[in-house]
């Protein structure tokens, strides 16, 4: 299994540009999440999904959109990039509440710089 994969690994955008960060998992996990990590800080939840067709906002959703059309994929869209969105973005997945399997599996991250 590849686990959780993210593309691209690095991206530089100009203010106002849009882009999509890709995330895919091959573990048939129900739950998927997007986090951002800023220097010296923990992870903050942007959006999450508890299954295909179901998404909800996390702690810092402004400026981001998500959709979940399949179990495997959970793309994150930046609508109009701003310098405040410069961060490292992590995608994670888990079985959710099934059998008490709460462990989250993380992708390698996408390092985004907005100029």
Partner 1 sequence: SQQGEEDPQALSIQEGENATMNCSYKTSINNLQWYRQNSGRGLVHLILIRSNEREKHSGRLRVTLDTSKKSSSLLITASRAADTASYFCATDSQGAQKLVFGQGTRLTINP
Binding residues vs partner 1 (CB under 8 A): 4, 31, 33, 35, 40-45, 48, 50, 58-59, 90, 92, 94, 96-97, 102-109
Residue 99 CB, shortest distance to partner 1, in Å, is 12
Nearer to partner 1, 17 or 30 (CB): 30
Phi, psi of 85 (to 5 degrees): -90, 0
Residues with Cβ < 8 Å from 100, sequence gap 6 or more? none
Residues with Cβ < 8 Å from 39, sequence gap 6 or more? none
What tokens does 85 get?
């969105």
Residue 103 CB, shortest distance to partner 1, in Å, is 5
Nearer to partner 1, 1 or 14 (CB): 1
């Amino acid at each position: 299994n590849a686990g959780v994969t993210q593309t691209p690994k690095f991206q530089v955008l100009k203010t106002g540009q849009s882009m999509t960060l890709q995330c895919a998992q091959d573990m048939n996990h129900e739950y998927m999440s997007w986090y951002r990590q800023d220097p010296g800080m923990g992870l903050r939840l942007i959006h999450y999904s508890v299954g295909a067709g179901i998404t909800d906002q996390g702690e810092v959703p402004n400026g981001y959109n998500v959709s979940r059309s399949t179990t495997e994929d959970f793309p994150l869209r930046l609508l109009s990039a701003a310098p405040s969105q410069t961060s490292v973005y992590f995608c994670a997945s888990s079985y959710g509440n099934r059998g008490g399997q709460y462990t989250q599996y993380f992708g390698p991250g996408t390092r985004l710089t907005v100029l």
